[in-house]
Each structure stands twice: as structure tokens, then as C-alpha cells.
Amino acid sequence: PPPNRMQKTSNFSYITSCYKAVNSKDDLPYCLRRIHALVFSYDFHAGAETMYSRHFNDPTADSYFTKRKWGQHEPPPPRQHAGLLPESLIWAYIVQLSSALRTIHTAGLACRVMDPSKILITGKTRLRVNCVGVFDVLTFDNSQTNHLALMPQYQQADLVSLGKVVLALACNTLAGIQRENLQKAMELVSINYSSDLKNLILYLLTEQSRLRSVNDIMPMIGARFYTQLDASQMRNDVIEEDLAKEVQNGRLFRLLAKLGTINERPEFQKDPSWSETGDRYLLKLFRDHLFHQVTEAGMPWIDLSHIVSCLNKLDAGVPEKISLVSRDEKSVLVVTYSDLKRCFESTFQELQAAASGSL
């Protein structure tokens, strides 16, 4: 944020504020961008940071482009191993940003906020463009008859802005995109990066006699697109595996939550012994079988795999038999998991019916 919160931003020339808010209808968090008297609502991504704060927050990175003092030699250009970003990371950003522009331009619109301060990074390399649509509202002219007349011009400006972002990433500093530093910046790119990256930057920053398209840079991206696609698919596989585990965890949690509403209930329908009789007594012994077993020496026996296995068998209602021992060890009840499931479901339905007032 600017030093003074009431200071106008450099991007929109208006006083802006940013809030995290929860929608009362869907209970989801959103990011609210307030242009004082006007509020824009965007998806909220916890832990996101801007490209500017991640890659352009080091003042020492500008040393190559700062003017040398009298009597000093020109500093040598930095190398990739001396602080510049790896080329694979830059291409990963290019694929995502060009894909975003392709989607926007195909819809007949323009981004107009392709700037490091408005590009969000979540995780390691996932990019999202923030504040889209703000300029379209702020610069809307009601007197114009054709509001899309300037859209091709804005789309060309998007490509130039993308070129500046890529050049700044290659130089690891925003000083590289200043007009007086462009020659030195391109020399740095030529020394440290591939000709494809150099040609892409030149194509985006050089004015053309014809209208350019974001699709024109696909040949320069080439097979690197498949590298990013493979990485994306691998990440999806990992996320799906983790999601599958959480689905199973959620299923087991619901079982435990329902079991907790039944066990040790002090009173139900004015019957203080309700949880200690009938089907509820079987479920109490099953709870002890899950959590309260001991070794031959009388020490607690804790085995999470035992708990998960028994809960899965209960949920499936398998015909396998189980021995439930009373706490005084004077009685042993042999039942199947299918019997326990029937007791479990009927008892919980009885509680639900009472809670909804149908009893």
C-alpha cells in the first residue's frame, strides 16, 4: 500500500482500498477493491502475493542500470547464477499470462492491467490477473456510440504491457523497462537467455504496421508449452489424490460426529438411561472397541489403522462379526457390522426426528 492510505494509486489515479469480505449468501470470501464510491468484487485467494512484491522488491537489483558515477567503470551484466530468474520460470509465467490475454481478447475485451503490481502469484508459480474491468468502468464514456471501437487499440497495448513484464522478469528489475535502459536490458537478455525469449520480447515491444495477436507468439513458446502442460497435469494428479483423501476423511468424520451425538447422551425423551439401553448400548460398546482398548498389561492400545478400518466396516455394513466386551468384562456380545450399521442409522434417525419436531 502507499505510505498514505488516502494517496492516489499510480495505476488508476484514484484513492483505492482493498478488503477481505465474506458473502452472506454463499459464505465464501471475496476480495473487494474499492475505488472510493465504487466497489469491485473479485475471487479471494488466501496467501496470494503480487509479482511486484515477489520479484521486484530488491533495490540492489537495479545496480546494473543505475548511472555510474564519475571515474567508475561500467558494472558487468549479472548472470543467471548471480540473481537472475531461471528461464524455465519466465516461460511458465509467459504461458499463463499469454493464455489469460488469449481468453480476454477472444471475448472481444482487453485486460488493461498487465502490470507486476496487478499480477497475483499463488503457490510457487500460479498466476492470476487482478483488477480486470476497473479501467473499463472508470473510463466509460456515455457519449460514445460504439464502446468497442477502441478495443483493438487496448488489445495492442496489452501485448506491449506483456512484453514489458517479460523484460522486467528477465532483468529481475523494473528499471530494465525504462526507455533509457532498453538497450542494456536487451543486451542482458541476449547474454543470459535463449534467442526465443529475446525474439518474443522484441516482437511484443516493437510497433508493427499490422494488428498483432497473442497467438503470434505461440511459435516462440513452442514445445515449452508441453512442459507447462505436463507440470499442470502432474499438479492436478497430486491435488486429486489429496482431495480423495479428504473425501474419505470427511466421510469418517461424519460417522464420528453422528456417533458422538448418540454416545453418553445424558437424557432423551425424559429417559436418563436411553443411551445405556437397547441399540444405544451396542453403539457404546462399539465406541469402547474403537477408542478404549488396552494391552495385556493394562496400558492404552492406540492404533489409528484399527480405528479407520472399523469405521470403514461400519459404514459399509459388512457381514463380518465383532466381539463387544462390556466394561466389567462380564458379558460379550457378538454382532456383525451390518447389525451395528442398522442400529446406528435407526438411532440417529430417531434423534433427527426429535430435533426436527416430528416426534
pLDDT tens sequence for the chain (359 residues): 555 655 666 678 888 888 999 999 999 999 999 988 899 999 999 999 999 999 998 888 887 787 654 445 666 677 766 689 999 999 999 999 999 999 999 999 999 999 999 999 999 999 999 999 999 999 888 888 887 888 999 999 999 999 999 999 999 999 999 989 999 999 999 999 999 999 999 999 998 888 999 999 999 999 999 998 999 999 999 999 999 999 999 999 999 999 999 998 888 878 888 888 888 999 999 999 999 988 889 899 999 999 999 999 999 999 999 999 998 888 899 999 999 999 999 999 999 998 887 65
pTM comes to 0.75
How far is Cα of residue 165 from the mean position of the Cα atoms in its chain?
22
- Whole-number average pLDDT of the chain: 89
Please give the single-letter amino acid code of residue 206.
T
pLDDT at 284: 93
Would you state the pLDDT for residue 131?
Answer: 94
Quote the pLDDT of residue 145. Answer: 80
Q: d(Cα 282, Cα 359) in Å, to the nearest integer? A: 23
What is d(CA 117, CA 55) in angstroms, rounded to the nearest whole number?
Answer: 11
300 φ/ψ angles, rounded to the nearest 5 degrees: -60, 135
Judge contact between 196 and 238, C-beta under 8 A. Answer: no
* pLDDT value of position 199: 95
| pLDDT score at 3 | 58
CA distance linking residue 355 with residue 319, whole number of Å: 31
- 60 CB-near residues (< 8 Å, 6+ apart): none
- In the three-class reduction of DSSP (H, G, I as helix; E, B as strand; rest coil), residue 335 is classed as strand
Strand partners of residue 35 = 16, 38
What does the pLDDT read at residue 67?
A: 60
